Amino acid sequence: MTSLQHARIKQDTVRNTPSSDLSVEHRGRLMIWLSPAFPIGAYAYSQGLESAVSQKLVTNGVELTAWLQDFFTHGPMRNDLILLGETLRACRDSDTALLHETSMLGSALSTSSERHRETHNLGESFLSAIEAGWPEMMPGKLPSDVRRPLVLPVSFGLVASNLQLDANEIVLAFALATLSNLLSAAIRLGVIGQRLSLQIHSDLEDLISKQSRSLGGAKLENLGTACWMTDFCSIAHETQRTRLFLS
């Protein structure tokens, strides 16, 4: 049985549960899975931000805000949101070809060895954590051409597709969790404090909401980035001598 068939069977088993009650329960699960405390190790990665701070490209709240705006609109997060949206669609439509292509492109699009290791490690850690706590939500046997380790957006999408939630809601929650993680990294790097972190989070909510709605409905042909400094910093981090983060 493929993971897509497995997801369809799970959806059939909850039809007798009131949809409102089920949505509340599943929103709770989504919050837990995207919590900073969820044990996948996301706190250990900065996606090149540490290198940007070290090179004094990001030294204050204004520069950090600009960095994050580019990261979400033109950088790696743009691709991650498209990959997540396509994974959710592949599961919804039982489209194994789309799942295969999404998985392969997700792996190939990593712009540095650290970014490649990060997204695969987080993807596998996420599945391991789900298997420990919610084994019934695990994807079934994957199609033969979809191989693990999977990148995080694909792993997350495979599991989140079992939730009785709108795809746009899932994509937005994923994006906001990523923003929170990067702001936490900025605090630990000494760029901002907690109060300014909250202000930046609030300032970027509208942008990220619009990006999530747009990119969650985008197709694989829309993949692509134009945020070269983020890529350069991710590559430079590989040889950075003193560092707190793994990327």
Does residue 7 lie in a domain region? Answer: yes
Q: Which domain holds residue 122?
A: 3-11+23-34+45-239
| Residue 139 resides in a domain | yes
Say if residue 119's pLDDT is above 70.
yes
In a domain, 246, yes or no: no
Instruction: Quote the pTM value.
Output: 0.90
Biggest alpha carbon distance in the chain?
Answer: 57
**Sign of the dihedral defined by the CA atoms of residues 186, 233, 62, 60, in that order:** positive
Domain count of the chain?
1
- Beta bridge pairs of residue 2: 141
Candidate from 3-17, 72-86, 115-129 with smallest mean pLDDT: 3-17
Residue 151 pLDDT grade (very low, low, confident, very high; cuts 50, 70, 90): very high
- Domain for residue 174, yes or no? yes
What does the pLDDT read at residue 16?
Answer: 45
The pair of three-digit structure tokens given for residue 210, joined into one six-digit string: 């619009």
Give me the mean pLDDT over the 44-68 stretch: 96
Asked whether the predicted pLDDT for residue 1 surpasses 60, the reply is: no
pLDDT-derived band of residue 13, with 50, 70 and 90 as boundaries?
A: very low
Q: Is residue 245, in this structure, part of any structural domain at all?
A: no
> In Å, what is the CA distance from 84 to each residue of 15, 44, 64, 131, 185?
25, 22, 25, 20, 23
Whether 115 is in a domain gets the answer: yes
Residue 69's pLDDT is 96
CATH for 174: 1.10.4190.10
* Residue 169 included in any domain: yes
Task: List, in order, residues 6 or more apart from 162 with CB less than 8 Å away.
Answer: 7, 10, 11, 137
Instruction: Give residue-wise pLDDT tens across range 92-102.
Output: 999 999 999 99
Q: Is residue 18 part of a domain?
A: no
Tell me: the pLDDT tens digits for 155-203? 999 999 999 899 999 999 999 999 999 999 999 999 999 999 999 999 9
Binning pLDDT at 50, 70 and 90, where does residue 19 land? low
